[in-house]
Structure 1
Amino acid sequence: MIDEDDRRPPAPARPRGTTRATAARYLLTPAQLEESLAMTAPPSVRNAVVAGLQATLAVVAALACFHYSPWPQLVGFGALGALASLFGRYASRARRRRMVFLSAFLLVAATFVTSVAAHAGASPTMMVLVLALVAGASTVAVSSWSLGGPGAVIIVFAAGAALGGAGSWEAVFAHAAATAAGGALAWIVCVLTDRLRHEEPATGAFPSDPPRPMRHRLIAAGRIAVGAAVAALVAHAAGWQHPSWAAIGATAVMQGGHLHITMSRALQRMAGTVAGACLVGAILAQSPSFWVVVGLIAVFQFVTEIIIGYNYALGQITVTPMALLMTHLAAPAMAGNMALERVFDTIVGAAAGIVLAVLFSSLDDRAYLARHRGAAARG
């Protein structure tokens, strides 16, 4: 008599080289380091230049407007809202307006949520968890609305700016209103200058990836939320003043669609941040005036949008001083060890991101990495 188990087809064999240990070894090879150093041309240099100009105009306009307004203490939140101009650089004009509007909405929502939590008296640990939830929720929103790069990392950056707390409900709404005003400036700048960009051709030379199934989006968001929480909790336990920077690092690294991209992002982010931190440390040591800082932010913002498409590490060299100078304007008293802490936070965030990416990876993720590494070896 034949046992029913004998009639079942044998289970498919696991593809070779798809264990997590093997994936980790693939990510630590010299070939992976070479990939992270590779230079690639952006889809459109003209659009990169125009995007840099748009972001620079929006951020400088926000900084200047709030500096001369009755609310100069909100200058940092206005500049954060202006970062909505970074989204949709390869989209058609109609789609770009929608994308900038939705990105501004997410920036305002992130600022509002964290400000409310801080005003409600949430403990530092709870604030870190709120930040992680913002990272996960914004990941789902960015994917669902096809907003593309720079992705959820900018939303987490805005949320982190509000971790310092709001003393009253008026301050909570002021933070959100200032961010919304910056977003409105970004939208206006993009509408007025988008004619300078190349329109997305009808054939879709710069196509947007269609949203993945909701289940996949939620899994990706969960991974990023856990990564942001772990990185920020480590930074908080170490006594660092800006645990949100570690969460930003983890979010940026784990946004990569494949493991080899995640590892390249981690290496590039760490290297670029170290160089950028040295640069901004030298700048802040000179005690620059407000307008010198604004001018430097404008230069770094413009240069970033041009070079980051060639290599992510190059962009981090200029993103780091820009972000720290914006933080300096919002909270000058906290400028002391910002540069050094940024390096530590970035290393923690990047390390947590890559470790958790491997631990949470699916069999398909690891099989893709094995095929990619095999193709690179043959090529």
Structure 2
Amino acid sequence: MFFTMGPANKDHHPALRCAVGVFVPLITLVLLQRLDLAIFASFGAFAGIYGRNEPHGRRLVLQLRAGTLMLAVILLAALTAHAGALPAFTPAGRIWLQVAATTLVAGACSLIVSLWRLRPAGSLFHIFAFAAIASVPHQPPLWQGMLVAVLTVAFSLLVGMSSRVVPGQRRPWNWSAPVRLTGPERRAAWQEAVGYLVAAGLAGILATVIGQRLGIGHNYWAMVAAVVPLVGHTTRHRISRGLQRILGTALGLALLAAILLLQPEPWLTVLVIAACQFGAEMFIARQYLVAQLFVTPLALVSTLLVAPVPAGVLLRDRLFETVIGAVVGVAVVLAPALWRQWKTGR
């Protein structure tokens, strides 16, 4: 399971759509010299990740829901950033505000994603989007950021429908009503939301406390990594995802270091982001470790567009926070089984 490769399922189709969905908005911002808005475009483009192999009608519904939820997360993140900039918050208080708010987003979005039957499951993207935007120190005007996000979501929806121009790809529109969750599924959704809340919260607290002592930042990367092991049908699969996250991140950082040595111009950086987005979508459903080779530089290069930091610091923080988060996530996965075993043995 750790190194096996799943079968292909026309993965190049959604991969190309996702790559185009992020490339066009970002290259437009490069031409407009408004890279301060790039983070809003990057996360708005996440709407295109959903409904990857669904018929057009169903895909449109899922992407519309996913885009609406992402826009709400982006708006809350920007408002949190503006609130944290108020004189009432010290720098430390601002960090803890972001941890608390991101934790709530982790649980709430996990529940909504389950209730709406969105795939990919979980709230990993929402945690990443919220925390990344909320941690940007110098926010652009709110209306500009939201305008870029809305336009990017709309563009992603258009790209999602683009294959209908090919006669062989056209199918009758299917507007079937969504299937409601059964009682057991609803209970599982609530339990999963609690798991996301606990994993993200513990990882955020631990990463913040340790990071402040060691001078390591980007605590939200630990929160993102902590929820990775929560996706899976078996405990073994979930633990494997946690280990794959660590190893894949380490390999991805080596690729990122090579990219940073080239010191790419902004337009070339956008090409790298699009290429990494394509690679991530090609393998994310087939081999999580391989996908991390592309996810890691994708996430960090996108961060560098908005908030440049020394390369060494970036690489160190990513690896450190990923290890903390993955360990916490695996612990949360194992905790229920260990608790039941302890009660049975007592």
Contact preservation (8 Å) 2:105, 2:127: yes
Partner of 1:37: helix, strand, or coil? coil
In 2, are the aligned partners of 1:91 and 1:200 still within 8 Å (CA)? no
Does the aligned pair in 1 maintain the 2:121–2:231 contact within 8 Å? Answer: no
For 2:207, the equivalent position in structure 1 comes to 235
Aligned to 1:10: none
1:18-29 alignment to 2 at 5 Å?
A: none
Identity of aligned residues (%): 27
SS at match of 2:263: coil
Q: Match of 1:331?
A: 307
For the residues of structure 2 that align with 1:179 and 1:313, how far apart are their CA atoms? 30
Output aligned runs, 1:179-328, within 5 Å.
179-193=149-163, 213-237=185-209, 238-239=211-212, 240-328=216-304
Alignment of 1:39-54 (within 5 A): 39-42=5-8, 44=9, 46=10, 48-54=11-17
Q: Do the aligned partners of 2:225 and 2:325 also contact (CA within 8 Å) in 1?
A: yes
Which deviates more, 208-217 or 311-320? 208-217
1:156 is the counterpart of 2:119:
no
Partners of 1:117 and 1:160 lie apart in 2 by 10
Distance in 1 of aligned mates of 2:208 and 2:233: 28
Deviates more, 1:267-276 or 1:76-85: 76-85
Note the residue ranges of structure 2 that are not aligned, 5 or more in a row: 173-178, 342-346
Q: What residue is the counterpart of 2:37 in the other structure? A: 74
Equivalences, count? 323
Conserved in 1, the CA contact under 8 Å of 2:98 and 2:131?
no
Matched, 1:177 2:147: yes
Contact 1:92 1:199 in 2 (8 A): no
**Equivalent residues of 1:63, 1:294 under 8 A apart:** yes
- Change beyond 3 A, Cα 1:226–1:173: farther
Q: TM-score, normalised by structure 1?
A: 0.78
Instruction: State yes or no: 1:115 paired with 2:85.
Output: no
| CA displacement at 1:198 relative to structure 2 | 7.2
Take 1:209 and 1:312, find their aligned partners in 2: how far apart are those partners? 30
1:322, CA displacement in angstroms? 1.0
Asked whether the 8 Å contact 1:140–1:217 carries over to 2, the reply is yes
- CA distance in 2 between counterparts of 1:317 and 1:262 reads 19
CA–CA separation in structure 2 for the residues paired with 1:178 and 1:336: 31
- Note the C-alpha offset of 1:106: 1.6
The TM-score normalised by the length of structure 2 is 0.85
The one-letter code sitting in structure 2 at the alignment partner of 1:117 is T
Which entry has the higher C-alpha Rg, 1 or 2?
1
**Aligned position for 1:27:** none
